[in-house]
Amino acid sequence: MRLPVLAYRVGLGSLFGKRLLLLHHTGRVSGRDRTTVLEVVSFDAVEASWTVASGFGPKADWYRNLRAQPQTLIRCGSHPHPVTARFLPADDGAAIMADYARRHPRTARRLCAFMGLPVDGSDESFRAAGRAIPFVRLEAGAGHSPAGRRHR
């Protein structure tokens, strides 16, 4: 599970292209620097934003840590990007999941099955699943400098 993190640490993040990113986040209790690799659900080059999903729901540590400190750093490929996390409403999640399912139908089905979300392959079933999944948009900001972050 930590292999993608290690790949980023040794400079091989570009192997993942734009499909994965390395998220740096600060432990909300410990204050320690943490990292996790997440799948990019969608990328908007014009707005410089990456949308990710919390497959383990709102109790995932990285998700809770971003709630406490939304300004952070990501690495996509070999490039670091300071970002601010914006937590999306359920209706936005529905549209994002339906779009993702059109682009990656098998992966979307497997993801929903893993999370225990019933889908029958229809657009509406993926929309219903998307309402149950927390989505986060990581938005790049000019002049953004998260405290205590190092470029790795």
Cβ neighbors of 5 (< 8 A, separation 6 or more) are: 22, 35, 36, 37
Q: What is the pLDDT of residues 46-105, one digit of tens each?
A: 999 999 999 888 999 999 999 999 999 999 888 899 999 999 999 999 999 999 999 999
Is the dihedral angle over the CA atoms 56, 62, 66, 68 positive or is it negative?
positive
Confidence of residue 150 (pLDDT cuts 50, 70, 90): very low
Entry pTM: 0.85
Phi, psi (degrees; rounded to nearest 5) at 74: -125, 165
Structure tokens at 11: 């400079």
Q: For 135-144, what is the mean pLDDT?
A: 81
CATH 3.90.1150.10 fits 3-90+133-140, yes or no: no
List the end-to-end C-alpha distance of the chain, in Å, as a whole number.
20
For the chain, the domains span: 3-90+133-140
3-state DSSP assignment of residue 24:
strand
Strands (E), 54-110: 71-76, 79-87
C-alpha span between 119 and 29 (Å, rounded):
36
Structure tokens at 80: 């670091």
